[in-house]
Structure 1
Amino acid sequence: MLNDLLMKTRSYRSFDSTKIGFENLESMIEAARLGGSARNSQTIRFTLVDSESLCHKIFPHTAWAGAIPWSPTLEESPRAYILISTLKDSPLSPVTLGIDIGIAAQNILLKATDLGFGGCLIGSFNKADVSKTLDLDLELYNPQILIALGKPTDKVIITEGNTNNLKYHRDIDTQTHYVPKLPLSTLILKKF
């Protein structure tokens, strides 16, 4: 059951017009809240965006799928976003803070998948413009990662990769995204 959820939790980049709603977004934040936090510092904060007009304002400030010459259209764009920010005065090192952000982001995506939605972690977004659009107080918070969410229309297929070529690719005609993953045997260094 968990493996099925993990297999379905992919980076989805095109969405239909289905609304997510704040109840589902808050359920995703609850999943993040229940995750681990170094020193139990809990220095991550979330901005939830369900407004269509705000989603449309944010969309031009995002970059998608850097390894392929493709981006979703406005019609395929996310129907919600979650901006993950951290407190400026976080006691955590940047590496440890990054681990906490990763835990929260993965829990959000897992819950989104569990609810029948999908998403994509976007690190490549104009932080100044998105922060301004969302009225984020940059004296108190650092915007870290943007999670795009919606009901996916694209299909993601995991293929076997090799260390010489791990580049993902997309069949634009079928909206199928192929993601090579290394075989398990190449990831385990040693067994004792």
Structure 2
Amino acid sequence: IYGLKQLAEHGEGLASMAALLAGLAVGALFLRRQGHIAYPLLDLRLFAHALFRAALAAYALAALAMFGVYIFMTQYLQLVLGLSPLQAGLATLPCSLCFVIGSLLSPQLAARWPAARILVVGLSAAAFGFAVLGLGQGLWWLVPATIVKGLGLAPVFTIGNEIIITSAPSERAGAASALSETVSEFSGALGIALFGSVG
């Protein structure tokens, strides 16, 4: 992440490339060591389960997109539309409320439809919301798009996290939960770095 920020700020210089390559090398060494110790910080054996991998990938993608776009959205509301911080916060409130509502309704959806279908529909709805955000301008265009985005992402996080934990063996549920949280934090930070670099 630091390497990406350096690359965006200073271009393809020696220091930027060195930071990026060093980060990749350290990450690779960390993952290799985790696969060879008895009590790893990240239990890579969990990736042997296909359902776990799919849910974790959806979870990571959702976190990356949500955090990355949110940075641009708050800047757009204040710097382009000229809203105050309070007004910008109120403009994002419908999305947050819909996310909460979607999260509360997710268990009922999971009881009626397969989890994989819910994740696909949720990601598709969120992608549509993100696309509308990119195509439109103005507050009355942005708020409905964020509502769709919030409703789409809610089941991805709620049901996706449940799949991540329950698809792992019971004795590794704690490790699965830790990996889920780590991936969420890392993906969010990566999304901010990537979108910030592009912007």
User: TM-score normalized by structure 2?
Assistant: 0.26
Specify which structure has the higher proportion of strand.
1
Q: Which has the larger radius of gyration?
A: 2
Greater relative contact order (Cα < 8 A, sep 6+): 2
Query: Normalization by structure 1: what TM-score?
Result: 0.26
